[in-house]
Amino acid sequence: MEEFIVKGYIDAILPKGEFRVRLEENNHLVHCRPSGKIRTNYIKMVNGDRVMVRITPYDLTKGVIIYRGWSK
């Protein structure tokens, strides 16, 4: 299964620990949840944080945040 890794930033914090992420490439909004490693290590995320998101080609509206913060 092919997966896409894209960069974006957190646009809004939603209930139940989910986030809305705006992608850098095309300003597309993706509904995301944090990955298990982010949850177990208690990594906090706020509005405007830069994140990397894993998206499957089956549903391009949902994703998983796999990394928080990177340098240009």
What residue segments make up the domains of the chain, in order of their start? 4-68
Length of the chain: 72
Query: What are the tens digits of pLDDT across the range 18-54?
Result: 999 999 999 999 999 999 999 999 999 999 999 999 9
User: Is 4-68 a CATH 3.40.50.410 domain?
Assistant: no
The stretches of the chain forming alpha helices (DSSP H) are 36-40
Shortest CA distance to 10 belongs to which of 53, 71, 58, 39? 53
pTM for the model: 0.90
